[in-house]
Chain A
Amino acid sequence: MATVAPARLAEVFVEVADTLVDDFDVIEFLQMITTRTSELVEVPAVGLLLDDGRGRLQFMAASDEETRLLELFQIQHNEGPCLDAFTLGTPVVNADLAHAETRWPTFAPRAAASGFRSVHALPLRLRSTVIGALNLFGTDAGSLEPGDVKIVQALADVATIGLLQEKTIRHGEVLTEQLQHALNSRVVIEQAKGALARTHGIGVDAAFELLRSYARTHNRKLVDLARTVVTEPHTLPGLMR
């Protein structure tokens, strides 16, 4: 696929470092990682899933939150490249969706029907522990070059570092606390999408865009804003009437 310009790569890592300040918004951070991954290696859709501590992967962020994509992440509860990368701890690279029905009988046909031809998944690792996976969808059969894979794995590693907010997680309990908090933040965003969609008579995809643009315009963190939408809507007259 793409040959990434070193200058562009450097810019992305500077942006990441800038984002990892105290008290950053975890969902926005993960969205940034998925969006930059999508741009750098020129794939149309990238998502990130995390271990929920109960043996399942949950969707956290994507370069594009369209419902058809959310479904492709959701079904990886049971099967799919992310589950494989997560379970085995090794990358799934250049899987051809036209020939993956045996491997993923539900996931592969659905992903193909959504217009994708190739799929990749890289584990999010913290030493020997795998905490989730980064998922890339391609619309051509073109492959990720070894150089691209290294870049994507580097971004996956950065996502892990950001997620855990600490350079050295010495204890498993800190990891569990952070992951559970991040997972619950994602649920809050879905609840707010629903509330916004009904308030404005729009779809959930449009509701997410509304939430995101309001957060940007008013310099609010996405998760904090989502929480306010469902707990104190009267404090957001412009957004919640």
Chain B
Amino acid sequence: MGDSHPDDLAAVRDLLPRVDPAGDITSDVRTWLARMCSAAVTALPASGVGVSLMTDTGVLAVAQASDRLAEAVGTLQFTLGEGPCVDAFHGHRPVLVPDLRAVATRWPGYAPAALALGVGAVFSFPLQVGVAHLGALDVHRARPGELSASATGFALAFADVTVEALLDAQGAVSAAADPGGLDGVVDGHYVVYQAQGMTMVDLGVSLVEALVRLRAHAFAVDRPLLDVARDVVEGRLRLEPDTA
């Protein structure tokens, strides 16, 4: 883990366009997610990659995958109400299963069904920023075996970039946005998270919505998200419900 410092986020960003919500946002997001899943299959590599977007209570809202098999494996979890992506979402942590045969008792319905579909290993990563969670990213491989540290870093970066894309689609931030300015959400700057909590209170909205508004504002005024977040935390800016 500490041996090298690849900039996984930059590498993954280079692989993907930003969501352009100029048209129908739902179909744009689906198109983007499908591209992301295919890019992840090649980059990791993996047999299949799927994304499940969930409501706060864990109900499946959108599922998109690299192929039909990956989609079947993903939706299986919602049919059965159990599985790694369900656990990753609710547990706010990755669920990494290098050998699905070894965890039959953990998911008595999901494990045998996924094995029957030809899945040997599954790795699920939450799509989240602190408490705010949107879903999970599932990576599967036909053959059992650990995900290497570098593949894990890539998968985490794909999850991060997916969170950004979903937030921007919701805030109607266009693909023309300066990527350098908006990347701060997942770069781990505490000021952004503090501003998110403040904006939640200011606007009386959810944490997800608060971050959507902050990013949309940064885009609208053409400033880096981190600068906007600093203004909020240091009392120079307060988003208003009508102007945000």
Chain B neighbourhood of A51, CB < 8 A: 1-2
Interface segment out of the listed A32-40, A55-63, A99-107, A114-122: A55-63
Q: Do B93 and A194 touch across chains, with their CB atoms under 8 A apart?
A: no
Interface on chain A toward B: helix, strand, loop, or mixed SS? helix
Chain A neighbourhood of B196, CB < 8 A: 191, 194
B165-206 at interface with A (beta carbon < 8 Å)? 187-190, 193-202
* Chain B: interface size category: 35 or more
Q: Do B188 and A173 touch across chains, with their CB atoms under 8 A apart?
A: no
Chain B neighbourhood of A180, CB < 8 A: 93-94, 156
Q: Do B146 and A173 touch across chains, with their CB atoms under 8 A apart?
A: yes
Q: Is A195 an interface residue (CB 8 A)?
A: yes
* Chain A: interface size category: 35 or more
30 contacts between A and B (CB under 8 A): A51-B2, A54-B9, A54-B160, A55-B4, A55-B153, A74-B190, A77-B188, A130-B1, A130-B2, A172-B149, A173-B123, A173-B146, A177-B93, A177-B95, A180-B93, A184-B92, A190-B190, A190-B193, A191-B130, A191-B131, A191-B132, A191-B196, A191-B197, A191-B207, A194-B196, A194-B198, A196-B197, A197-B197, A197-B233, A230-B197
| Nearest-neighbor residue (CB-CB) of A132 within chain B | B2
| Nearest-neighbor residue (CB-CB) of A83 within chain B | B5
Q: Is A149 an interface residue (CB 8 A)?
A: no
Q: Is B6 an interface residue (CB 8 A)?
A: yes
Chain B neighbourhood of A89, CB < 8 A: 2
B residues adjacent to A (C-beta < 8 A) = 1-2, 4-9, 91-98, 123, 126, 128-132, 146-147, 149, 152-153, 156-157, 160, 187-190, 193-202, 207, 233
Q: Do A188 and B2 touch across chains, with their CB atoms under 8 A apart?
A: no
A198 vs B199: C-alpha distance when bound (angstroms)? 8
A20-74 at interface with B (beta carbon < 8 Å)? 51-56, 58-59, 70, 74
* Contact A86-B190, Cβ < 8 Å, known A54-B157, A184-B92, A195-B201: no
Q: Is A181 an interface residue (CB 8 A)?
A: yes
| Nearest-neighbor residue (CB-CB) of B211 within chain A | A191
Chain A neighbourhood of B146, CB < 8 A: 171-173
* Contact A198-B197, Cβ < 8 Å, known A55-B4, A171-B98, A173-B146: yes
Q: Do A173 and B96 touch across chains, with their CB atoms under 8 A apart?
A: yes
Per-position binary interface string of chain A over residues 146-182, scored 1 when its CB falls under 8 Å from any chain B CB and 0 otherwise: 0000000000000000000000000111011110110
A123 vs B3: C-alpha distance when bound (angstroms)? 13
